[in-house]
Chain A
Amino acid sequence: MTTSQKHRDFVAEPMGDKPVGSLAGIGEVLGKKLEERGFDKAYVVLGQFLVLKKDEDLFREWLKDTCGANAKQSRDCFGCLREWCDAFL
């Protein structure tokens, strides 16, 4: 599966304070929804990802429930976070 530019950008460096919209798969709309729920920064979503033990199904389910991400979006987001963790965690 090829990765998007957003994915590559995100995975290339520590996320620092990047907004949640910088995650792959999270665009404006989803980003807004996540922010409303309190996930305003990418690291908060990372936290959720880690709390769910990096489990794909659970995380994607959570993402769907929280902001209504579709399958592709949640897949992208999950992949992005996973790779980031592989590189930096």
Chain B
Amino acid sequence: MAAATAAASSAPQQLSDEELFSLLRRYGLSPGPVTESTRPVYLKKLKKLREEEQQQHRSGGRGTKTRNSNNNNTAASTVAAAVPAAAAGMGVRPGSGDLVYLRTPAGLGRLAASVPESPVGGPGGPAAAPAAGSKVLLGFSSDESDAEASPREQAGGARRDRAALQYRGLKAPPASLAASEVTNSHPAERRKPHSWWGARRPAGGEPHCASGPDGAAEDEDNEGEDAEDREPDAEEPPWASRAVNGSRLLPYSCRENYSDSEEDDDDDDMAPARQVSKDDSLSRHRPRRSHGKAFSAPPAKSAGSGPETSVQGGGGLAMNDRAAAAGSLDWSRDVEEAAAEPGGGCDALDSSPVPRFRAGARKLAPLLASPVPDVDSALDSSPGSLLKTNNHIGGGAFGLDSARIYSNSLAPSAAAQSSLRINHANHTGSNHTYLKNAYSKPKLSEPEEELLLQFKREEVSPTGGFSAHYLSMFLLTAACLFFLILGLTYLGMRGTGVPEDGGLIKNPFDETFGKIQDLGPEYEDIFNTSLLWILKNGKDVGIRCVGYGPEEELTNITDVQFLQSTRPQMSFWCRFRRAFITVTHRLLLLCLGVVMVCVVLRYMKYRWTKEEEETRQMYDMVVKIIDVLRSHNEACQENKDLQPYMPIPHVRDSLVQPHDRKKMKKVWDRAVDFLAANESRVRTETRRIGGTDFLVWRWIQPSASCDKILVIPSKVWQGQAFHLDRRNSPPNSLTPCLKIRNMFDPVMEIGDQWHLAIQEAILEKCSDNDGIVHIAVDKNSREGCVYVKCLSPEYAGKAFKALHGSWFDGKLVTVKYLRLDRYHHRFPQALTCNTPLKPSNKHMNSMSHLRLRTGLANSQGSS
């Protein structure tokens, strides 16, 4: 081995760059360009790989391998001597002799060392020893050939080499050319016979596969995939197609990137089984996507959807699993949404089926892997999507029936029609539906339900669904209330059989007296007499005299304070009325209390928000002030004429517009106090300027470079990643609606107004396009989706060109077309929009980066 390495180390200088390159690739490496600086590194790597291979050969014990290794050993030992002997050995092989002859000086030795060549007795290798030696040298020509097949290879090698020569038409020395060709052909041969090499390689196919295990191991993967895109590569050198995974994938990914994004929520509802199977096969054929996370995502999603499947019922379960497991082509938000909004689609009993239906739509979408990478086909794939998108527009009153239909029969048209019918019919609704809705409410406590609730709130906005949703809620509460009151009334009336306290007539005696006295003073006497009689009379006359206390002994009529009936009997109606009134009064009080609490809470929330807003404004102001002061300080450094301090009112006037001054007074004052208290780099002083005393600020931090924090601006357009051509964009504008993805990350966004910034950014990027009429930022989408509608497909095409493939805020933005009717289902308010939207101000903040770079904001956008 030492000899080998010693020999090898000297020989490599004679390896050409291409040979080195191809050799490295044989080992499955994907090397970068071999230049003078990278050469030594690659040579070392090659050496290392060879050593590893030899190790493996030795330990592998496969026939060919051992022979190879043996040969390596023998070859190694003979290499040193082989060079001079090469000439002698050369003549042995007429056919490939010349090639070998030329080859040897080019440093064949090292290559030959690792080559399994000579074990094969060449076709008629004349002398054993020289043959061995020559085979060693010749080995290169049949470098990749395997032991058994090498005889044929040897024979065909020359042919092949010559053919390769012609084929390649390279001007390089024929030896190296042949060598590289052979090496190239080896990988090619290892693949399934295909195209150009087909005739030559039939035998070479599998035997070659046997050799070079470690190199081949990696290739196996590639080969399977290569088989598919072999056709376009046929003309290219076969090895090139294996060259770099990235480049190989690129055509795929470009195609797929655009196409598979079609298998998106827009695709819907076909028989999931059929689609899923297609999906599986397709996903198998596309093992690697440009977005590598595809494969990590599906397992994650399947895990994620696992717990959620428990929420679902029926077919939804199976569908969901398959959706996740199929590693659906669309790893985008849609699948995640689908996984995340599971129960919705198939959960029958849901008072908020709205988001769940959408979930169902989304979930099914990825299942529908349209094999045709074409927008049209994808969009056309299922009219049944109407069902899903309709649902969420239709609002809450879907209840049981449509959900059931959804889960049971996925036949799109039937479902769509029936659901549409049900949608309308449901408003009349039956009581049990609403009761079931009530019972299903507890389910909303699950965590993913919050997501749905967010969707629900979003979906409620469409005017059509508004009344339906609230109508159902109202009827529900009315029913509840009704039963509640009925029950309580019954309870209130229950005490009729109890003699003690039923039907009390607790009238103060005085009142009674007073009332009776209205009759006239003449009756008073009679009244007293009768009272006395009642008191003295032990008989039960149905009237009982009660004093203040319960057991008080009554001796005189003046002690009597209350009259009580002992046989309480009230008419049913009376009792009912009393009970009802009591109950309603109490309930009203309760409601009032609840309302009061709500009001108080709302008020507190409002105040809190307001305070937060003010604090935020204050901080903004503080930041601006600091910036101003700092820049002023820097200006002072350069220009010694300026005063190093700035009067506070001047700063205020420069930062706050005149018409805002009154509004911002409070904010400003707070900012000033904050600076005085918390900012150490700013000092407040009093100075006399122009005869008047001013409070001034002085920036006192020495301008060291440590203060230079580079602010990477956020939410700006940063250029285009790739040129839009036929490969990565559709040939013509298909619809007027666009879905823009990857504009933001919802978990990273803070505050309430960031979506406006996103909208502004889009408008600014498409500022030359006056055909955008509606923009909607989907705040909850994990993919950062923004939906845009334009006046016509041409405008949409313009916007597509401006946006697709641009970098925004460090993320690569992609755009695809959406069907107009589905867009309207999702955003019915867009139906009536037809006024072009413009950016709200002329500052073009999001284009600032581009302006700096190119000097012309729109140059990036147009293409």
Contact = CB atoms under 8 A, between A and B. Distances in A.
Interface of A: 12-13, 48, 50-53, 55, 57-58, 61-62, 65-66
21 contacts: A12-B710, A13-B710, A48-B37, A48-B38, A51-B32, A51-B35, A51-B37, A51-B38, A52-B32, A52-B38, A53-B30, A53-B31, A53-B32, A58-B38, A58-B41, A61-B41, A62-B37, A62-B40, A62-B41, A65-B44, A66-B37
A52 B42 CA distance: 9
A80 B40 CA distance: 23
A86 to B, nearest CB: 10
A66 B45 CA distance: 15
A53 B42 CA distance: 12
A54 B31 CA distance: 10
A63 to B, nearest CB: 9
B702 interface: no
A57 B45 CA distance: 9
Contacts of A12: 710
Interface in B44-65: 44-45
B33 interface: yes
Interface in B4-54: 30-33, 35, 37-38, 40-42, 44-45
Contacts of A13: 710
B574 to A, nearest CB: 83
A50 B35 CA distance: 12
A49 B33 CA distance: 12
Contacts of B33: 51
A23 B32 CA distance: 23
A13 B709 CA distance: 9
Contacts of B37: 48, 51, 62, 66
A57 B31 CA distance: 12
Contacts of A55: 32
Nearest to A14: B710
A61 B38 CA distance: 10
A13 B31 CA distance: 29
A53 B710 CA distance: 28
Contacts of A57: 45
B710 A65 contact: no
B44 A61 contact: yes
Nearest to A44: B37
Contacts of B31: 53
A48 B34 CA distance: 11
A52 B30 CA distance: 10
A77 to B, nearest CB: 15
Contact of A65 (B30, B32, B40): B40
A65 B41 contact: yes
A2 to B, nearest CB: 20
Nearest to A50: B32
Nearest to B35: A51
Contacts of B30: 53
B849 to A, nearest CB: 12
Contacts of B710: 12-13
Nearest to A48: B37
User: Looking at chain B's contact residues, is the secondary structure mostly helix, strand, loop, or mixed?
Assistant: loop
A53 B31 CA distance: 7
Contacts of A52: 32, 38, 41
Nearest to A64: B41
Nearest to A65: B40
B773 to A, nearest CB: 37
- Nearest first, the 4 A-B pairs at minimum CB distance are A53-B32, A62-B41, A13-B710, A51-B32
B386 to A, nearest CB: 44
A12 B33 CA distance: 29
A52 to B, nearest CB: 5
A14 B518 CA distance: 102
Interface in B160-213: none
A51 B34 CA distance: 9
Contacts of A48: 37-38
A48 to B, nearest CB: 6
Given A51-B35, A58-B45, 20 more contacts: A12-B710, A13-B710, A50-B32, A51-B32, A51-B38, A52-B32, A52-B41, A53-B30, A53-B31, A55-B32, A57-B45, A58-B32, A58-B38, A61-B41, A62-B37, A62-B38, A62-B40, A62-B41, A65-B40, A65-B41
A51 B32 CA distance: 6
Contacts of B45: 57-58, 61
A45 to B, nearest CB: 10
Contacts of A53: 30-32
Contacts of A66: 37
A62 B37 CA distance: 8
A52 B44 CA distance: 14
Contacts of B41: 52, 58, 61-62, 65
Contacts of B38: 48, 51-52, 58, 62
A75 to B, nearest CB: 16
Nearest to B42: A58
A53 B30 CA distance: 9
A50 B710 CA distance: 25
A12 B44 CA distance: 34
Nearest to A66: B37
Nearest to A54: B32
Nearest to A59: B41
A58 B35 CA distance: 13
Nearest to A55: B32
A50 B32 CA distance: 8
B809 to A, nearest CB: 13
A39 B35 CA distance: 15
A8 to B, nearest CB: 12
Nearest to A63: B41
A79 B38 CA distance: 19
B163 to A, nearest CB: 32
A50 B38 CA distance: 11
Nearest to B705: A9
A62 B34 CA distance: 13
Interface centre among B30, B38, B40 (most CB of A within 10 A): B38
A69 B509 CA distance: 110
Contacts of B40: 62, 65
Nearest to A52: B32
Nearest to B246: A53
A61 B30 CA distance: 16
A87 to B, nearest CB: 9
Contacts of A65: 40-41, 44
Interface in B89-127: none
A61 to B, nearest CB: 5
A52 B41 CA distance: 9
Nearest to B710: A13
A13 B712 CA distance: 9
A42 B204 CA distance: 48
B46 to A, nearest CB: 12
A57 B42 CA distance: 11
A56 B212 CA distance: 25
A30 B710 CA distance: 28
Contacts of B42: 58
Contacts of A50: 32
Nearest to B31: A53
Nearest to B34: A51
A55 B44 CA distance: 14
Nearest to A37: B37
Contacts of B32: 50-53, 55, 58
B785 to A, nearest CB: 25
A53 B247 CA distance: 13
B245 to A, nearest CB: 11
Contacts of A51: 32-33, 35, 37-38
A55 B38 CA distance: 12
A61 B45 CA distance: 9
B806 to A, nearest CB: 16
A13 to B, nearest CB: 5
A53 B32 CA distance: 6
A65 B38 CA distance: 10
Interface string B476-504: 00000000000000000000000000000
Contacts of A61: 41, 44-45
